[in-house]
Amino acid sequence: MTDILQKFMFPDATVRGEFVELNATWRHVLAHQDYPLPVQNLLGELLSAAALLCGNLKFDGSMIMQIHGDGAIKLLVVECNDTMQMRAMAKLAEDAVISDDASLSELVNANGRGRFAITLDPNNKMPGQQAYQGIVPLEGDSIAEVIETYMKQSEQLDTKLWLACNGHVSRGLLLQRLPNHGGKLSRTEHDIHTGADDDEEETWQRASVLGTTLKHDELVSTDIETLMHRLFWEETLRIFEPLAVTFSCSCSREKVGNMLTMLGEAEVSEAVASLGKLDINCDFCGRPYSFDAVDCAQLFLPADIKVSPDPDQTH
């Protein structure tokens, strides 16, 4: 198992943690795209962050994490479902010129209009139910800071993230303070609970300090079993069974056809007349889909007279 999510819990169950290590999944993301190095770094960090947050999904469905940029990067997207299947992609401005030392703010928040969004999309929605989406202005100088701010403001959860990647591996560590669900207390209970709160705060502060000793180069070059021992060797952690993470893309000919339909018949017909056919590669996995004039005309026929194509047909 080369791609794993490893969960653990501190002894008093007030702080949970997760390590993630992505090798094959990350290489799948990069296999068909030649992203500039700063874009690779941001997308790789977002990939690990999504895996870490998705590890706690409590429903059958997917989490979609997006950064909408107003600079050289127009969009970063990572999708992860409850079975830890992932995919990711980036879209750049057509005239993008990206230096090797470009910062997050320069790339996605050049004019202060960058946005960060998390969408939770259940597979089996009730009638009228919509996917939940939280959108906030982009705040932070790193992917980790952006997500920490989002979790604090939108979910009221103290969260710390450490993320790093290179062209071969993406790793991350999440620490999260669990919410207190206690009810109204008597005076004696309050005194006891206040002491418990002090203990919980001490655990959170200790965990956070241990996390800050983790350096970027160490995170990107060291396997998570070794990292866990180095950071928390003095803690009696509860270690859970690791979860496997894999790359998976849900693209299909039908979905590409639906995208073309949204463009409108006139625009699609004009493009086919000019190019002869439309060759479209999935931005996530690179799979090719080809639509000739007959295919495109078929898209705009009434549903009752359409000929259903082979769903896996790529021509």
Q: Are 87 and 29 in contact (CB under 8 A)?
A: yes
Single pTM value for the model = 0.87
Give the CA angle between residues 157, 160, 165 to the nearest 5°: 135
Mean pLDDT of 149-159: 91
- Choose among 301, 249, 293, 315: nearest CA to 32: 249
Instruction: Give the largest CA-CA distance in the chain.
Output: 80
Mean pLDDT of 82-111: 93
Q: Alpha-carbon distance 159 to 182, whole Å? A: 20
- Choose among 176, 212, 171, 219: nearest CA to 20: 171
- Write down the CATH number for the domain with range 4-247: 3.55.30.10
Residue 13 scores a pLDDT above 80 = yes
Confidence of residue 197 (pLDDT cuts 50, 70, 90): confident
Q: Alpha-carbon distance 223 to 22, whole Å? A: 10
Q: Is the dihedral of CA 88, 91, 97, 102 positive or negative?
A: negative
Give the residue with greater pLDDT, 195 vs 260. 260
Confidence of residue 124 (pLDDT cuts 50, 70, 90): confident
The rounded mean pLDDT for the chain is 89
pLDDT at 70: 92
- Domain 253-305: CATH superfamily is HSP33 redox switch-like (3.90.1280.10)
Mean pLDDT of 24-46: 95
Domain boundaries, the chain: 4-247, 253-305
pLDDT at 215: 94
Residues whose CB is less than 8 angstroms from the CB of residue 24 and which lie 6 or more positions away in sequence, other chains included:
2, 3, 246, 247
Give the distance from CA 207 to its chain's centroid: 24
- Here the tokens at position 48 are 């690990």
Mean pLDDT of 188-202: 63
pLDDT at 189: 44
- Choose among 82, 95, 89: nearest CA to 39: 89
Confidence of residue 301 (pLDDT cuts 50, 70, 90): confident
- pLDDT more than 90, % of the chain: 74
pLDDT at 75: 96
Q: Alpha-carbon distance 47 to 254, whole Å? A: 26
Q: Distance of CA 288 to CAs 4, 103, 264, 268, 284, Å?
A: 29, 33, 21, 18, 11
- pLDDT more than 70, % of the chain: 90
